Amino acid sequence: MIPIYITGSGVVSAIGVGKEATLAALQAEETGIRKLKYLDSCHEELPVGEVQLSNHEMNQLMGVADDIRHTRTALMGRLALREALKEARLERNDLKAIPFISATTVGGMDRREAYYAEEANCDLVHAEISTHHCGTSTEMIAEPFGEFASMATLSTACSSATNALITGANMLRCGMADIVVVGGSESLSKFHLNGFNALMILDHEQCRPFDRNRAGLNLGEGAAYLVLETEASVKRRGVKPQFVLSGYGNACDAFHQTASSPDGEGAYLAMQEALQLAGLKPEDIQYINAHGTGTPNNDESEGHAIQRVFGEHLPPVSSTKSFTGHTTSASGSIEAVFCLLALQHQFLLPNLNWHEPIEGGIIPVMEQKPQGEIRHILSNAFGFGGNDSSIILSKL
């Protein structure tokens, strides 16, 4: 496999805007899960991982005027994309040769909800709400930066952003591009919160991934993007790559519309494929960033799959959703950036709120100090319908 270099990344989540603030929160073990502040919902009993900025404040950070068209998904995406492009030293003119692949499922639902009662009677409102679908979110995120060579939007539920990374990597491998920008953005909405609440999988306290008494997930929001490049592009531009996307895999066990299979077959196959593509063995992985939603079903299923793959070579495992909540379609790219920070600064990402082990299950890592050098991290993102993806991020 040709090397897929990572030359830039940017992130926004409940624990901070930008990688500097994110790193500080991760190392201080400060969760971003709090009471509702920005989403107008009657469900104040449900803690969430909200980005701690209003839409107005995000527009100010971007240096643009408020615009009714700007969805929260687009605004968060712009902040994360700006950081990634700057770090990769990509200018407006460069983008004309670069594909942009962004993931979302909720899209502009937060703005559409505001017009729900009016949309049947007002042509003007219809014109405005036509901008709320997922593809337009991608266009809005890209808008301030210039014209990309192409844009695509992926939506495979909670594996969406990871699948954006995989799609971009495959484009590089196939010679379709030398550089791609990939990731995802997802905002909270009533549709989002009420839908998961109807499934009865939301915890009324801070989530407890892999804990025996876990009661569900907390929803979150955020965005993250990564710049992927071929070796030829890195040499031509004279940029210094930071990390390598060394392996990836996607599988679908199609066990159930929402539930994971009891034996984690899709997750098992995705992790196995990622290891094989990277040319690595289970004992080569120093840390696993688990999907780890905190639901009874996922944590048991994923735990079985991890144990099937790694056996006696089980490395430290944790879920960072105890920091941010489950950012659904954006989670794969957000957690990929967390893993890059762990590789760069050589620390483990602790599993907050864990107290008691699941019988025969995973015991997550609770401290930051690794036993040795961290060279390879595996990160999981699993979606509804059993669309399961895994990536391996490595030091150079």
Q: H-helix or E-strand containing 288?
A: strand 287-289
Under DSSP, the state recorded for 37 is S
Q: What does R_g of the chain's alpha carbons equal in angstroms?
A: 20
Q: Evaluate whether 375 touches 57 at the Cβ level (below 8 Å).
A: no
- Give me the torsion for CA of 46, 185, 318, 23, rounded to 10°: -100
Pairing of strands 317-318, 287-289: parallel
Tokens of 39: 């989403």
The CA distance from 98 to 79, in Å, is 19
Strand, helix or coil for residue 11 = strand
* Residue 313 CB partners (closer than 8 Å, separation 6+): 281, 282, 283, 285
Tokens of 301: 């299923």
The CA distance from 361 to 305, in Å, is 10
Query: Nearest 5 degrees, angle CA 63-CA 69-CA 71?
Result: 80
The CA distance from 107 to 44, in Å, is 23
Q: H-helix or E-strand containing 92?
A: none
**For the chain, where are the alpha helices, taking DSSP H only?**
19-28, 55-62, 72-87, 109-114, 123-129, 134-142, 160-173, 190-198, 231-237, 265-278, 296-310, 321-324, 331-345
Among 222, 72, 38, 53, residue whose Cα is nearest residue 140: 72
Active-site positions read 158, 291, 326
55-62 vs 72-87: helix axis angle to the nearest 10? 30
* Residue 251 CB partners (closer than 8 Å, separation 6+): 265, 266, 267, 269, 270, 273, 386, 388, 389
Tokens of 297: 């079903």
